[in-house]
């Protein structure tokens, strides 16, 4: 029996060796005696030391044995506010999930060409990070790895086959899907982008941004906490908008959702404190929980059939006082198609609005597709005034030579 136990213990020795991280310099590592590699596990900074210019080395030596540093462990430096500069040496291949997340003092970052994987949230909310260059061999970038930052420059090595920053756009784009994963305040979105990823522009410090025609989806929290964003035109090509897409955009004054969108997601414009005008298209059928803030002056809803609600609790479409009492919320006027006025006034979700009025003739002036010039390619715009390249192929409401045209 003893021989059997000793035999299994012998087999386990390589895995037991250095099971606990060891300190080498100002970092802790987990060392592998089998392949002589090392993984950075956590910092070993002296108490009270600030403004650390951290270099992750390519190799370390312990008890006379040299180990190649290949990985940085998950959450290794999460919330470390003392690092101001970070250089990761050649040889490191993987940065773990949340490894440098919430490191709010990192201003400078250098990534090695050996790097292959950047984990989810790896540099999330590293709010002082000014720029990033993605090396040529990076083949995997996790969920919101660089989001919720204040960067002004994003560059991808032109030899990288998986990601790009085409047309010097100052953005990180997944090449295969044409999805913009991370943008910054200087991003110019290429017209080849078809999707804005989750959190792509969260916390960006710009006042406006042009979304080109061709974008089909806007992800969850895509523009969350863009507190200076005052104007935004959503192109007619957009078909879906994610949860909290414009949450806490405190300077946004109006928003027009294009025809074709059928669902208003949870928290879409919640906490947008300056929002006073909302335009909902005729295609809206479902509205989820808490999509809009209080204080909205006018809501225009073009849907003939009152959209249904889809939520588990909280207030309805917009915070209002049904009895007109209270001094917190500004009463919102709801503008709806005249033929649907009674339906809105008697439907549970909508009847709480104190003032429901019919859309005016100017607001509902629609020419059908049989109009004399409706087949012409020039002169088409979205309801937001964005000029289109030719006649739209997607069904919906558009502007043609100054008139509203319903493309069926």
Give the global pTM: 0.82
Question: What's the pLDDT at 312?
Answer: 55
Question: What's the pLDDT at 92?
Answer: 98
Question: What's the pLDDT at 341?
Answer: 94
Question: What's the pLDDT at 83?
Answer: 96
| Cβ-Cβ contacts under 8 Å for 102 (sequence gap 6 or more) | 78, 79, 124, 125, 126
User: Which pair of structure tokens corresponds to residue 71?
Assistant: 């990985």
CB count, 10 Å around CB of 213?
16
Sheet with 163-164, side-by-side order of all strands: 163-164, 172-174, 179-182, 195-196, 217-218, 240-241
* pLDDT profile of the chain (408 residues), mean per 10: 45 51 96 97 90 96 97 97 96 98 95 98 93 97 92 96 97 98 96 97 92 96 96 93 97 94 95 94 92 90 90 58 48 90 91 88 51 61 68 69 63
Q: What is the pLDDT of residues 349-405, one digit of tens each?
A: 888 888 999 988 666 654 444 344 556 677 777 665 566 778 877 656 677 765 667
Sorted by where each starts, the structural domains of the chain and their CATH numbers stand as 233-364 (3.80.10.10), 366-408 (no CATH)
């Amino acid at each position: 029996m003893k021989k059997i136990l000793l035999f299994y213990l012998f087999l386990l020795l390589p895995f037991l060796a250095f099971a606990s991280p060891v300190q080498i310099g100002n970092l802790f590592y987990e060392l592998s005696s089998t392949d002589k590699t090392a993984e950075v596990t956590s910092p070993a900074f002296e108490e009270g030391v600030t403004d650390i210019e951290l270099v992750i080395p390519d190799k370390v030596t312990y008890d006379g044995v040299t180990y190649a540093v290949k990985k940085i462990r998950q959450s290794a430096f999460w919330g470390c506010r003392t690092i101001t500069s970070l250089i990761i040496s050649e040889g490191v291949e993987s940065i773990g999930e949340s490894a440098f997340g919430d490191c709010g003092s990192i201003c400078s970052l250098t990534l090695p060409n050996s790097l292959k994987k950047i984990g989810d949230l790896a540099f999330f909310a590293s709010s002082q990070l000014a720029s990033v260059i993605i090396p040529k061999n990076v083949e995997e970038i996790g969920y919101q790895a660089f989001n919720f930052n204040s960067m002004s420059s994003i560059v991808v090595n032109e030899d990288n086959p998986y990601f790009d920053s085409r047309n010097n756009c100052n953005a990180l784009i997944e090449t295969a899907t044409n999805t913009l994963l991370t943008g910054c305040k200087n991003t110019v979105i290429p017209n080849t982008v078809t999707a804005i990823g989750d959190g792509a522009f969260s916390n960006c410090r710009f006042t406006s941004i042009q979304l080109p025609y061709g974008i089909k989806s806007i992800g969850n929290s895509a523009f969350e906490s863009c507190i200076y964003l005052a104007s935004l035109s959503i192109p007619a090509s957009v078909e879906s908008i994610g949860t909290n897409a414009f949450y806490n955009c405190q300077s946004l004054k109006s928003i027009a959702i294009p025809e074709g969108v059928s669902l208003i997601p949870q928290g879409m414009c919640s906490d947008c404190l300056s929002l006073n005008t909302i335009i909902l298209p005729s295609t809206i059928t479902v509205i989820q929980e808490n999509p809009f803030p209080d204080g909205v002056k006018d809501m225009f809803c073009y849907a003939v059939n009152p959209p249904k609600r889809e939520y588990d609790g909280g207030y309805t479409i917009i915070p209002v006082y049904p009895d007109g009492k209270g001094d917190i919320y500004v009463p919102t006027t709801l503008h709806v198609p005249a033929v649907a006025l009674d339906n809105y006034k008697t439907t549970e979700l909508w009847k709480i609005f104190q003032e429901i009025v019919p859309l005016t003739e100017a607001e509902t002036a629609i020419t059908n597709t049989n109009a004399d010039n409706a087949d012409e390619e020039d002169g088409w715009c979205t309801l937001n005034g964005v000029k289109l390249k030719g006649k739209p192929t997607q069904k919906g409401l558009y502007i043609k030579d100054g008139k509203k045209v319903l493309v069926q």
